[in-house]
Structure 1
């Protein structure tokens, strides 16, 4: 046995030694290469000879395998030396380009990858290798004559990306891939064209042009192209010749026009309504399904639109990355200039100017696109340029970079600006005549709910993320001339009591403590992450700067302490919308409350006069009964600061006064509608239960839903209410704080498993499924799916009952700041084939019987009558209660975090 073992082992050892022998490996490599050449030379029509193509593919694969094996073996590497001396890549390039076969091209890419990855023989420093490779790339993916799949195209672009990465790490190989014949002996470019578009000389840097041709693609192709081009721009700071070539070439023009082309692909008319067959639960329990969209407008949630939007935003992010990583000042200035003229001034602003609220979607589209742009951008130079121009800030024309431009960059900018000047003065588009502020104010007051929603969401981004640019533009303010707080802790407690009592009076108090605890954590996170909080929370000796960007010419606008003018047009629009909260569509209310909260998260914006009481209006009824004896004056000051003041009704902050008006509307509903509090409590329980069941089912590994919930589309509306009220798959909540759901879920599951669950007063049905002996979430996926369907079915059935379909009308008399509830004659809406009579649900309670329909219509227009179903109003009340809790949490966290009240 030992004899046979030694014999077999020796045979295997000899075979392995032969495989690793450099000379034998070289012989096999030469044999394969010569076979490929012979077959290629003998074939006249390579693209149509399938047998020859298969033979060539096997040969390429064998060459790649031998090269990879040799790279892992110790020296000498004879095959790599042979490949370099014989320039086999030239033949590989020609064969692949003439084959017109995807398989041959893929195998040729593998051969090039094996040569580059070997990091020997200096292939990347070889002029012939560079010319051969770029010729191969140009004839395969550059000419368009060869139809290849996206996976092969991605492999080729990945190969180019690898070369760009090598250039970034080894700047000395740049002259091999970038050569210019327009340089003098000192390396300076001469004989440049004066046209704004620059010179188009692809032969100078074909690698760069191939990457720029693919930056607009989606998926791997676009990712590799954008990153590779990013490395090229980063290398410009290490080569003066490349830097001047980029400034004078048409590369910035191609980038700016490419961004404009992607923006132009976005639909001119847009509908942001959720699909009716896939509504989140909170929207399905309202009148949201009654909203109609323009059939000519494209849906925001359609896959095609989302694809175009994602591509545009990824290219916009690429612009931001280039400016962040580019260390060349001239290149950065040139890119900024082209962005400003070719995209901002000639495309983005004209689309804003041409938008209209009358055509059913163009204003919605522009407002949504601007929101997504500003939400995606963080680079201070781009944000500064866009907002200064679109908001028509007084000093935007005088804004100039701190670092001066070189003569070449200055000349390029001058040519670019001359091109943008129209032939006639009347054709000039000036933001001072109509700007983003005008569009937002008119859109917030629009009668189209979608336009209002889009304007509120854009306002939220500007007020929250770019608050410094909103001051004196979107909101009217005046500076604070004192630093010390004038509000007292006693006044804060009185205000907190007022808001908390208001929240408790709106409906059920179930879950208020848990919701308020979550809101405290949520508002603390929002305040700490707000850009204006950096200055307020920074240590006195630490510099405040925006990290993450290199040598930015424009820092974010500094924000000093300021007050909000109560007569501010945007704030008044917010109050008007809030006053109609109960009849607004749900998404409008969510966007409105988010905008108000974001307004209050700026640490430099004082709350006095709009959310808190002005200290000048404090009134202490028992001031004359103050104790006379104090052990020290400090105790006296503490006593005075802790007194809770009273105030006249005329001094009530506008936000609190508006909420009190809504409270009176709810009280009127409670007085007329039986079991009002129970209805609100059941609606809250439905949201709690649905969210907790969703969370538990997601945490169960074996659960597989029959129809996976759609992911939230980028830029979808951000609700103002806590997460437990929303369907998480459709509309994620702002609050990510834990809410102690485990105990609540166990209690509700126990109730679901009880033999006789308590019936709901909504329809006499239970909110859970049929009784079970154990938790339904511990069963198999089929039972879990059935259980979830039962829950949704019960919730839908409850919301569809006759009671909740009844319509309730609200009216706002002319020149009044209050809204009256018309409860005396509410009834279900008439069928579609019947017209509502003059004395039906649409008639005023006090209207005379002899009044004509025309007169009633005129009175309705004068009194601004609105109506909604009872189920819709109940859902809005739940949202309103959560919003009031947000205000309370905001007041409390701000006071403790920024020291806004005095205790003595």
Structure 2
């Protein structure tokens, strides 16, 4: 027992000695003096490896002692000694002259220990601030020694911590930000300013260091962007800082930095999937026959994804700055620079110079615009981009505008004079060629990639920013009579027509389940549509949360309107729908998405394009109609429930086009042996693939509370209200099928995850449906999915390889509205003569490709039926009495 007591006693004495403030201070002084002596003796220090090792061990010991003292009770003599003797000045000089990354890393640890101690007010000491910024400037600044990314990330993280302190303690701002050009009232004295602003790094080196790193990827960029965000947020608490930012070149650096990242994106882009990673639905088509332009960069390449992610991250940083900045002048100045230096000088010229002839530049611009609009939610940025690119009139000119200060107004005036052409005809003018022209021209392209990119951009604008599309991308007519005239009887007749058409396309198997899933999905999408807020909001609920934005920064109010049948965009969509069976599969998925977004807008009436105009109803007078009713309400209910008829000329364009496609399918069924069996096998392959994918995705089972965060990035699950949330929906690129019911899909998440906004793996512009391409799953899941795809492709096509490769031509004469199915008995069909090619529109595809499109078409028709039914119940669009 005495032996163990002596051991314990000795341990206690050592512990007490270690925690003794006087002894700790003695060790601290000894270590610091040894560092100074080693530094003075080693000349030059960078070439003395032994001295560098001694200094590193000394720095590590200082940091350890400081951290230990911070956790110990007072008195903190080492911290007092460090503040009194200003040891940080010596540490800064030693680390800067060492040119050694290890010494720099250990010096950062000492600075962190001083700051984290939160004693002696190091952050309120101007000598400490000057010493630290001098050290950082000589380490990672222009012409510095240069360090690795990990050490640079540590330095930027240190700067971020200081910015966070300034945000929470505005009183320490003058230590890190000083200007000698302010008058007695704290206002900046007038000085000469050009469009770029005044560069005064010596005034606020912390801010310039952060802005030098905002373009980086990973930790460096994240810390720099957040730190700079805190600086802009602090501008509302300091008039001097606010005016300094307005007059400085920071807004210019931010705008030109965004432009530089955009310029890194490839001018020519291919959105074709790699042949070795084709989703199953594309495997069952002629997709592999498409070839990318060798000069175009692949959308799926890691390099491109890295550049795109960095650009979108910086764009989101702009959005966050405007969201958190409470200074009106700073926000106006930033927006002015975004408009002139990025939007007008870079983004619009790239749109103007894009071409479908060069094989990729139109695809690139359309894709970049879609990703930009899909990432942005800030009303001022969205308004600026779409208002300019769509050449919209200033429909909010009468709204009150927040006035600019004289300094901000002068800055804007100098900026607007930047690079103004001497000749009026040399000025870029969106009224001559704008985004509407580019979309319409691209939708009529013979290049499937261009068409797909245009349709996906259209989907984003129609879905997220519907108010901007009115009068520009869509030609509309306002509704003067607000009362609905469609009847429940007419709705039932139209739903029956569409359902019968869907069953006639690909059979009745799985229709009930798919239709039920579509009902849930479409209800969720309509409830989340921006145009539904006014109709679904409670009378006492504000439609918009209070913000700090200008009143003019928003779309026009969307009122009830009709779609004009002669609308160029709608005519382009119908023309694409006419060739649905031979279209590229991705084009069809994008096409159906665009048409769906028309139907999801609660303010766009269905009459005239998807539903029959009530003026064209015809009722057969029923002889058995009761002569007497208890009251007029019963008579109105009876009449509203009657099934009307209409003339063929009154058939909605979408329904008429679908009927034509149905006749083409009937012609195929009559000529091709076992047609229904081929279609059924294709549907079963999709169903089985979906079930296997879900089994892989949710094995092992995950907790519902965390399921949304653990799904693969970019996967899609619709945003479903809680009262109907019982299942999840797979990506439509994997299969065109709807969701499994919750009772059948064990382990289905209880939440609906939104896709990653900046993952760069989803080409679909709207978060509503994961059209294409597939997200990038984890390695194990990816291998399993690829294996299943190969197995399904082999099982489905080996036995019928010859018949499924059969080529079928579809010919539409210029003087006819019908399409003739040319069912040849041999493969490939004989070439047409030149005269016939010029006269008729002839397209062809393999049977396997057509079957896949038929399955997609059935799903699309079911989605249209779901939209009509949900709208009728959710918005009360039909009359029951």
TM-score by length of 1: 0.89
The answer to whether structure 1 residue 811 and structure 2 residue 811 are counterparts is: yes
Q: What secondary structure, in the 3-state scheme, does the structure 1 residue paired with 2:492 have?
A: helix
The CA distance in 1 between the partners of 2:747 and 2:52, in whole Å, is: 67
Deviations 1:113-145 (A, max 9, x none): 110010000000000000000001100111343
* Equivalent residue number for residue 663 of structure 1: 662
* Equivalent residue number for residue 643 of structure 1: 642
Which one is further off, 369-378 or 416-425?
Answer: 416-425
The CA distance in 1 between the partners of 2:809 and 2:55, in whole Å, is: 80
Q: Give how far 1:513 is off.
A: 1.2
The CA distance in 2 between the partners of 1:716 and 1:346, in whole Å, is: 36
Q: Give how far 1:699 is off.
A: 3.1
* Equivalent residue number for residue 533 of structure 1: 532
* Equivalent residue number for residue 46 of structure 2: 47
The answer to whether structure 1 residue 608 and structure 2 residue 628 are counterparts is: no
Q: What secondary structure, in the 3-state scheme, does the structure 1 residue paired with 2:445 have?
A: coil
The answer to whether structure 1 residue 295 and structure 2 residue 284 are counterparts is: no
TM-score by length of 2: 0.91
Q: Give how far 1:482 is off.
A: 1.9
The answer to whether structure 1 residue 590 and structure 2 residue 555 are counterparts is: no
Q: Give how far 1:599 is off.
A: 1.2
Structure 1, unaligned runs of 5 or more: 704-710, 719-723, 746-779, 830-839, 844-855
Q: Measured at CA, do residues 859 and 533 of structure 1 come closer, stay the same or move farther in structure 2, by a change above 3 Å?
A: same
The CA distance in 1 between the partners of 2:785 and 2:300, in whole Å, is: 26
**Aligned pairs for 1:548-627 within 5 A:** 554-623=553-622, 625-627=624-626
Deviations 1:815-840 (A, max 9, x none): 322211111x24223xxxxxxxxxx5
Q: Give how far 1:191 is off.
A: 3.4
Q: Measured at CA, do residues 784 and 449 of structure 1 come closer, stay the same or move farther in structure 2, by a change above 3 Å?
A: closer
**Aligned pairs for 1:674-823 within 5 A:** 674-701=673-700, 738=741, 740-742=743-745, 788=788, 791-792=791-792, 794-795=794-795, 797-798=797-798, 801-823=801-823
Q: Measured at CA, do residues 432 and 737 of structure 1 come closer, stay the same or move farther in structure 2, by a change above 3 Å?
A: farther
Q: What secondary structure, in the 3-state scheme, does the structure 2 residue paired with 1:161 have?
A: helix
The CA distance in 2 between the partners of 1:784 and 1:378, in whole Å, is: 36
Deviations 1:589-647 (A, max 9, x none): 00000000011111111100000110001111234553211111110000011111111
The answer to whether structure 1 residue 888 and structure 2 residue 849 are counterparts is: no
Q: What secondary structure, in the 3-state scheme, does the structure 2 residue paired with 1:542 have?
A: coil
Q: Measured at CA, do residues 800 and 175 of structure 1 come closer, stay the same or move farther in structure 2, by a change above 3 Å?
A: farther
Which one is further off, 200-209 or 139-148?
Answer: 139-148
The answer to whether structure 1 residue 878 and structure 2 residue 852 are counterparts is: no
Q: Give how far 1:401 is off.
A: 6.6
* Equivalent residue number for residue 846 of structure 2: 869
* Equivalent residue number for residue 208 of structure 2: 209
The answer to whether structure 1 residue 499 and structure 2 residue 498 are counterparts is: yes
**Contact conserved, 1:514 with 1:739, CA < 8 A, in 2?**
no
**Contact conserved, 2:717 with 2:730, CA < 8 A, in 1?**
no
The CA distance in 2 between the partners of 1:11 and 1:687, in whole Å, is: 74
The CA distance in 1 between the partners of 2:248 and 2:811, in whole Å, is: 64
Q: Give how far 1:22 is off.
A: 0.7
* Equivalent residue number for residue 347 of structure 2: 348
**Contact conserved, 1:67 with 1:114, CA < 8 A, in 2?**
yes
The CA distance in 1 between the partners of 2:784 and 2:340, in whole Å, is: 57
* Equivalent residue number for residue 31 of structure 1: 30
Q: What secondary structure, in the 3-state scheme, does the structure 2 residue paired with 1:583 have?
A: coil
**Contact conserved, 1:805 with 1:869, CA < 8 A, in 2?**
yes
* Equivalent residue number for residue 706 of structure 2: none
The CA distance in 1 between the partners of 2:283 and 2:465, in whole Å, is: 34
The answer to whether structure 1 residue 115 and structure 2 residue 114 are counterparts is: yes
Q: Measured at CA, do residues 412 and 791 of structure 1 come closer, stay the same or move farther in structure 2, by a change above 3 Å?
A: same
* Equivalent residue number for residue 449 of structure 2: 450
* Equivalent residue number for residue 170 of structure 1: 169
Q: Measured at CA, do residues 342 and 403 of structure 1 come closer, stay the same or move farther in structure 2, by a change above 3 Å?
A: same
Q: Measured at CA, do residues 519 and 221 of structure 1 come closer, stay the same or move farther in structure 2, by a change above 3 Å?
A: same
* Equivalent residue number for residue 834 of structure 2: 857
The CA distance in 2 between the partners of 1:545 and 1:17, in whole Å, is: 62
**Contact conserved, 1:591 with 1:717, CA < 8 A, in 2?**
no
Q: Measured at CA, do residues 325 and 369 of structure 1 come closer, stay the same or move farther in structure 2, by a change above 3 Å?
A: same
Q: Measured at CA, do residues 732 and 230 of structure 1 come closer, stay the same or move farther in structure 2, by a change above 3 Å?
A: farther
Deviations 1:867-899 (A, max 9, x none): 000000000000000000100000011111111
* Equivalent residue number for residue 772 of structure 2: none
Deviations 1:226-275 (A, max 9, x none): 00000000000000000000000001000011111111111111111111
**Contact conserved, 2:686 with 2:735, CA < 8 A, in 1?**
no
Q: Measured at CA, do residues 742 and 164 of structure 1 come closer, stay the same or move farther in structure 2, by a change above 3 Å?
A: closer
Q: Measured at CA, do residues 712 and 827 of structure 1 come closer, stay the same or move farther in structure 2, by a change above 3 Å?
A: farther
Q: What secondary structure, in the 3-state scheme, does the structure 1 residue paired with 2:813 have?
A: coil
Q: Measured at CA, do residues 800 and 427 of structure 1 come closer, stay the same or move farther in structure 2, by a change above 3 Å?
A: farther
Q: Measured at CA, do residues 411 and 498 of structure 1 come closer, stay the same or move farther in structure 2, by a change above 3 Å?
A: same
**Contact conserved, 1:661 with 1:818, CA < 8 A, in 2?**
yes
The CA distance in 1 between the partners of 2:588 and 2:556, in whole Å, is: 30
The CA distance in 2 between the partners of 1:693 and 1:798, in whole Å, is: 21
**Contact conserved, 2:617 with 2:646, CA < 8 A, in 1?**
yes
Q: Give how far 1:553 is off.
A: 5.1
Q: Measured at CA, do residues 672 and 739 of structure 1 come closer, stay the same or move farther in structure 2, by a change above 3 Å?
A: farther
Deviations 1:157-208 (A, max 9, x none): 0000000000000000000000001111111111322311110000000000
Q: What secondary structure, in the 3-state scheme, does the structure 1 residue paired with 2:418 have?
A: helix
The CA distance in 1 between the partners of 2:635 and 2:601, in whole Å, is: 33
Q: Give how far 1:902 is off.
A: 1.1
* Equivalent residue number for residue 311 of structure 1: 310
**Aligned pairs for 1:214-225 within 5 A:** 214-225=213-224
Q: Measured at CA, do residues 681 and 725 of structure 1 come closer, stay the same or move farther in structure 2, by a change above 3 Å?
A: farther
Which one is further off, 419-428 or 303-312?
Answer: 419-428
**Contact conserved, 1:691 with 1:728, CA < 8 A, in 2?**
no
Q: What secondary structure, in the 3-state scheme, does the structure 1 residue paired with 2:619 have?
A: coil
**Contact conserved, 2:513 with 2:740, CA < 8 A, in 1?**
no
Q: Give how far 1:695 is off.
A: 1.8
**Contact conserved, 2:402 with 2:550, CA < 8 A, in 1?**
no
The CA distance in 1 between the partners of 2:728 and 2:871, in whole Å, is: 25
The answer to whether structure 1 residue 362 and structure 2 residue 339 are counterparts is: no
Q: Measured at CA, do residues 781 and 337 of structure 1 come closer, stay the same or move farther in structure 2, by a change above 3 Å?
A: closer
Structure 2, unaligned runs of 5 or more: 703-710, 719-726, 749-779
**Aligned pairs for 1:191-206 within 5 A:** 191-206=190-205
Q: Give how far 1:546 is off.
A: 5.2
The CA distance in 2 between the partners of 1:517 and 1:108, in whole Å, is: 64
Q: What secondary structure, in the 3-state scheme, does the structure 2 residue paired with 1:305 have?
A: helix
**Contact conserved, 1:381 with 1:552, CA < 8 A, in 2?**
no
**Aligned pairs for 1:216-255 within 5 A:** 216-255=215-254
